[in-house]
Structure 1
Amino acid sequence: MGSSVSREDPPPPAPTPAYAPPPTYAAEVPPPFTAPVGEKAAAAEEKVDYMNLGVPLPYEEITREAYMSLKPDVFEGFRFDFTKMLGEYFALSHSATMGNMELPSRGDDVIKVPTTGYEFGANFFDPKMMLIGRMSHEGRLNARVKYDLTDDICLKYNAQLTSEPGYSQGMGSIDYKGKDFRSQLQFGNNEFFGANYIQSVTKNLSLGTEAFWLGQQRKSGVGFVARYDTKNMVATGQIASTGVVSLSYVQKVSEKVSLATDFMYNHLSKDVTASVGYDYNLRQCRLRGKVDTNGVVTALLEERLGGPLNLVLSAELDHWKKDYKFGFGMTIG
């Protein structure tokens, strides 16, 4: 009886192709290119939709960053301001001042006389309307009205009324806000009429123009403005047919510190003025000041003492005229 062993033959080898690519290794395959996060953000910012540029600032506010640093509200003497909210939209205010008033003089001498003042104010604010009124003890009334007819049309009116003939004045305007532009029509006493228009040209650049007519004095003029702003800087330029050229630049050093400078030239009077200023906003105080080519040094400190109480210190030194102003103020509310 014999044993038998069954054996299955192995399958034939697979046919070798005429061309076989060389083997590759994972280490040799280059990873796909990915741009750094900063470059991705920069590339996204470069893609500008010129059909949706955004609305520019109003024509009269194109230099507001420089204005905050270079035009601090300095005063002389003592000032006390008190504001009391009587509801969600209504507030009353009281303001008392004691200081000196400068009288006009022919020479370089500064003539000052002591003076005191008091103003009573009433404010009304709601989402569509703003009413502000100030009445002084001398009978001078200052009023401001702003009313939004629609989301795009706004009416404004400012008036100053006095008992002295010829010193009362008023100015009204109709503002229209478009998709990427703003326009304004102005009218006032002394047969004043004006119009301005500002347009967003790119994401950072806006250009504008204005024209006015003063019928009582038979004077007219036109002007052109340009504003270029980024996250870190704002540069503006203005030129008018009246002979005025104005340039300003603001550098945002950080979220709390801004440096500003401006230059103004008047072709008719040949006056040239340049100034450098700063705006330092801390947690409990704000410090602003400037130095200009006329020898004037200005500083304003606003300190929050706690709650609604604020301390205000003001100083202005005019070295050429030897005129020095110091102020101390308290604000409540």
Structure 2
Amino acid sequence: MGIVHSRADEAKQPAAAKADSAPPPMPNFSFATSALAVAKEIKESERPDYLSLPQPVRYEDIQREGIMALKPDTFEGLRFDINKPLNQQFFLSHSLFMGNTELQTGGRQILKTPVGTYEFGATVINEAQTFLMLGRIGTDGRLSGRVKYDITNWLGLKVHCQIANAANQSQVMVDTDLKGGDWNAQLKLGPGFIGTNYFQSITPKLSAGGEFFWLPSNFKSGVGLALRHQGDKHVATCQVATTGIMNMQYTHKVSEKVTLAADFLWHTASRDVTATVGYDVSLRQCRLRGKVDTNGVVTALLEERFSPGINFVLSAEMDHWHSNYKFGFGIVAGE
């Protein structure tokens, strides 16, 4: 038996040795290959398509996100507004204001005179929202109107007019808007004024453009350049002009209810620099806006919703440098 077992073992040894000398199996790279393919697809999807860039905002609206925070509509005195829609295409408005108007003296002293005005307005808009016409007339003898008509998807026309008793206050301005797939342009014509601007998308988030204006009566002209970068929660803009103005603005949306904005304005000729920080907070029943600048001006505007269609407004502006303090309150009825 021992001899039989030993021969069986000897017969098995060559097979085992042959198995040990066989090459190892090839590794499976299918998982790594699929991972690289997925990573390549993600990279290609994130690559911007420069042939289908989004349409940018108009040149004059590149800072629209920061207007509510940096330029609250403050006033001094009493304001009462009523907005009444007769139907979905026709609206009426009544506005009563009693307060003070400021007269600049050229120095730190500011003169104020009492004023009281009533203004009646009407607005007409079609169902497709391609035609808009509105007019305002006040007891101070001023009549203003605006007509906006979108002729096609890429061509629009706007006419602004104003008639007033004061000299050099009556004027008519005509704007022509052109829209492309990733650009827009505008031509402005008015009394003694010719202007044009162009804005182009460079990447999905970056756009740039410029403007040119000419005053034939004064033989003056100017050129301006602008950049705008828009992210998911921020908008940054920069503007420079040959008139000696440089402006930079940054707006950040902290949340759905809070927006913060900062503005830097530099007049190169006079070397005046102003920095402003503003905020816009929307709560369930109120909206609070305000700003603080380096000139010592603190501004706040509170809109409290009493009930649907009824808002109470409180306004305050304190200029410590010029000892100028303005406070106002008002009621806005209607949407």
TM range (shorter): 0.7 to 0.9
Q: Deviations over 1:20-72 (max 9, x none)?
A: 75699xxxx9799769xxx9998576221111111000000000112221001
Mapping 1:61-76, distance limit 5 Å: 61-76=61-76
Give the 3 Å change call, closer, same or farther, for CA 30–216 of structure 1 in structure 2. closer
What is the one-letter code of the residue matched to 1:267? T
* 1:269 Cα deviation after fit: 2.1
Matching residue of 2:275: 274
Matching residue of 1:4: none
Mapping 1:113-152, distance limit 5 Å: 113-126=113-126, 127-152=129-154
DSSP 3-state at the match of 1:54: coil
Mapping 1:5-154, distance limit 5 Å: 19=22, 21=24, 43=43, 46-126=46-126, 127-154=129-156
Give the 3 Å change call, closer, same or farther, for CA 301–33 of structure 1 in structure 2. farther
Q: Deviations over 1:237-265 (max 9, x none)?
A: 00011111000011111111111111111
What is the one-letter code of the residue matched to 1:182? N
- Corresponding residue to 1:170 among 169, 172, 177: 172
- Unpaired segments of 5 or more residues in structure 2? 1-14
Structure 1 distance, partners of 2:31, 2:59, is: 54
Structure 2 distance, partners of 1:103, 1:70, is: 23
Structure 2 distance, partners of 1:299, 1:34, is: 55
Root mean square deviation of aligned Cα: 2.6
Mapping 1:311-322, distance limit 5 Å: 311-322=312-323
Matching residue of 1:5: none
Matching residue of 2:228: 227
What is the one-letter code of the residue matched to 1:256? K
> What TM-score comes out, normalization by structure 2 length?
0.87
Structure 1 distance, partners of 2:165, 2:32, is: 82
Q: Deviations over 1:203-245 (max 9, x none)?
A: 1100001101111111101110000010111100000111110
Give the 3 Å change call, closer, same or farther, for CA 52–22 of structure 1 in structure 2. closer
Structure 1 distance, partners of 2:42, 2:115, is: 58
Give the 3 Å change call, closer, same or farther, for CA 89–107 of structure 1 in structure 2. same
* 1:297 Cα deviation after fit: 0.3
DSSP 3-state at the match of 1:144: strand
Which protein is richer in helix relative to its size?
A: 2
Aligned residues: 313
- Unpaired segments of 5 or more residues in structure 1? 1-14
Give the 3 Å change call, closer, same or farther, for CA 50–138 of structure 1 in structure 2. same
Structure 2 distance, partners of 1:41, 1:293, is: 50
What is the one-letter code of the residue matched to 1:159? C
Give the 3 Å change call, closer, same or farther, for CA 106–200 of structure 1 in structure 2. closer
DSSP 3-state at the match of 1:60: helix
Structure 1 distance, partners of 2:196, 2:144, is: 24
- Work out whether 1:186 is the aligned partner of 2:188: yes
Give the 3 Å change call, closer, same or farther, for CA 30–328 of structure 1 in structure 2. same
Give the 3 Å change call, closer, same or farther, for CA 42–186 of structure 1 in structure 2. farther
Percent of aligned positions that are identical: 50
Matching residue of 2:4: none
